Structure 1
């Protein structure tokens, strides 16, 4: 059965017990963090740790006790461009929190993507706009990306797709063991 859902730019596809997730965090989009406090992340603000190949995790709800994928495990790939940070992750449903995430996403409860980062000295610019403050992040150390219920940046969304062979196709897949290894 082919199942698909699109609510922005996070996409999940399942093959066997592993689900492939793709997501996009757009740069240059201004958002309101709190009343009178706005923020924008400049293009390639996360480039330092990404280009260095440093460890970065995909988490459920910013919780390091609920990892979904990581660069060191070979299950998380990040691509940085002037427009957006995109990710591709392979999520194994063998853990309870991964199954919880996949179920919550299927129910429409988790649709957002949120970066976890630290801004080094000199990595931000603060400016006043009347009574409001705009923080522009030009450089930040990205440590994790999280699937969340309410992202600060509304355009940073996730999507899921689940592929399950049916009928004759399913029989062919089961009949030959090498057919189970689709990359």
Structure 2
């Protein structure tokens, strides 16, 4: 397992180290000792699975507000996604900045996302399965989100006409979210 900090404080890129042979591979998805050594071990309370039938599906950008803010550990078990996270920490020098990662079942990449980030992804293949651990229970009263096509963020999504939920289409822009607080 290789762990490297991302450009945004609180983001970590994790590359798994599979043992390959003629049968396929075996890889450890989580190692408490390695994660603890990097200060990243959490008490994971939920493990979630998201399945999207069609390429071009966007889910997000979602977050949980305090006190239910959550850390996420995200990977793809089938297919490929463009994973996107936006810094929404008001006191952060990178507030409003985003980064993205290509996560596929073949590249053995994971991303660790600290609290204070909105998170979403776009599927790059049909029948895509995304798995993620979270360290706080889901709370509908604390959920929030940012519009996927917020013009201020200028995220270069790989699709112009995504498959997206009505709920996600109605999320506010980051600017409108700031004004509500």
Q: TM-score, normalised by structure 1?
A: 0.24
Q: Which has the higher strand share?
A: 1
Query: Quick check: which has more Rg, 1 or 2?
Result: 1
- Name the one with the larger helix percent: 1
